[in-house]
Amino acid sequence: MNDKFSRRRLIQALAASGAMAAASPVLSRTAWPILGSERGPLRIVFYTDVHANPDPETAAALKLAAKGINAWKPDLVLGGGDLVEGDFHMSAEDVAPSWDAFMAMHKAVKGEHHVAIGNRDLVGVLPKDGSPPIADPRLMFKQRLGLDRTYRAFDARGYHVMLLDAVHISDDQYKYHGWISPEQQDWIKAELSRIPRGKPIILTLHLPLLTAFFGATKGMTLGAPPNRVVANNREVLALFAEHNLVLVLQGHLHVSELLRWHGTTFITGGAVCGRWWRGSYYGTVEGINGITLHPDRVEWEYIDYGWHDARP
């Protein structure tokens, strides 16, 4: 960022406009119309890409993140995956201290709280000793969060909230693809068939269903690799074509982005860990999203929860 658009000047401008009534600085804010639920308002905090690890610095950051989430007083908290800093080579044992760190944050967050799975939350896919993958690389995620399935749906004040599992293990150079399985697509169809046609829907998943990130950073003629986005996004979005999909909350890219297409707003939610605990990434600082759904509009803001990397 140059001086003209520096973060300090943005914060000063927001403070002058009265946008900083809360303790944590709001870095971006906007609103747009929707056909929402008459039972609103519904206040949601959406956070993503925590990358929890056993580092004491991270524990301090996660305490601040939980405090920032609670200070916003949400009715519902949604997490977008990559909760821990695991990887496909790690065993359940290797990643256990990172899960302890994440669960401390999870427990500190008050109220209703649901999280989607990210690629970093799978373990034992490619064991270091060359042994075959473990029977269920998602088991740790499910066990720690008390879940029997990684995709699910619930009602929140007249909104149908759906969490998807967008990680598909592949045997190519990418190791995984963003992909919504046929089994999940059947489940989506069944869910949609039993809710009223106009009911507003919120989707939460780890890899983006739609993004301008690769156009902006690589060039508009280049597509995204299959491990960075949901590769069968058009197929998935077509399932919602006759429905009121108001919001898609997505992560993975660690940048804050808003994109509106066919009446749906896609929010790429930045990252709790910013640039993997090393500052900001493409101008997005460590932050969380505050979203208020009114019957006629959505208000969204990206909030600096107060932790910044001070390490050299």
CA–CA–CA angle 225, 286, 6 (5° rounding): 100
Q: In this chain, which stretch among 10-18, 48-56, 95-103, 295-303 interacts with Fe ion, using CB under 5 A? A: 48-56
Closest chain position to Fe ion (CB): 82
Alpha carbons 47 and 77: distance in angstroms, whole number: 8
Written as one letter, the residue type at 76 is L
Minimum distance of Fe ion from residue 252's CB (angstroms): 6
The count of chain residues that interact with Fe ion, using the rule CB under 5 A, is 2
Beta-strand runs (E) in the chain: 26-33, 42-47, 76-79, 112-115, 152-156, 159-163, 167-169, 176-178, 200-205, 244-250, 256-261, 264-269, 287-293, 297-304
Nearer to Fe ion, 82 or 165 (CB): 82
Considering beta carbons, is residue 36 or 226 the nearer one to Fe ion? 226
C-alpha torsion sign, points 105, 102, 118, 274: positive
- Choose between 237 and 255: whose C-beta lies nearer to Fe ion: 255
The piece of 22-30, 45-53, 209-217, 287-295 that touches Fe ion (CB under 5 A) is 45-53
**How far, in Å, CA of 152 to CA of 161, rounded?**
9
**With respect to Fe ion, which residue has the nearer C-beta, 240 or 305?**
305
Q: Does 257 bind Fe ion (CB under 5 A)?
A: no
Residues 6+ apart with CB under 8 A from 97: 53, 54
Instruction: Select the span of 42-50, 127-135, 214-222, 238-246 touching Fe ion (CB under 5 A).
Output: 42-50
Closest CA to 33 of 264, 211, 195: 264
Residue 82 binds Fe ion, judged by CB under 5 A: yes
286 forms part of the interface with Fe ion (CB under 5 A): no
- Using rule CB under 5 A, residue 49 touches Fe ion: yes
State in angstroms the smallest separation of the CB of 13 from Fe ion. 30
| Among 43-51, 207-215, 288-296, 301-309, the segment contacting Fe ion (CB under 5 A) | 43-51
Shortest CB 48 distance to Fe ion, Å: 8
Residue 121 makes contact with Fe ion by CB under 5 A: no
CB of 168 to Fe ion, least distance (A): 16
The two tokens of residue 93 are 């044992």
Q: Could you give the CA distance from residue 264 to residue 239 in angstroms, rounded to a whole number?
A: 13
The candidate with the shortest Cα–Cα distance to 144, out of 56, 70, 79, 191, is: 79
Distance CA 154, CA 157 (A): 10
Nearer to Fe ion, 82 or 304 (CB): 82
Binding site for Fe ion (CB under 5 A): 49, 82
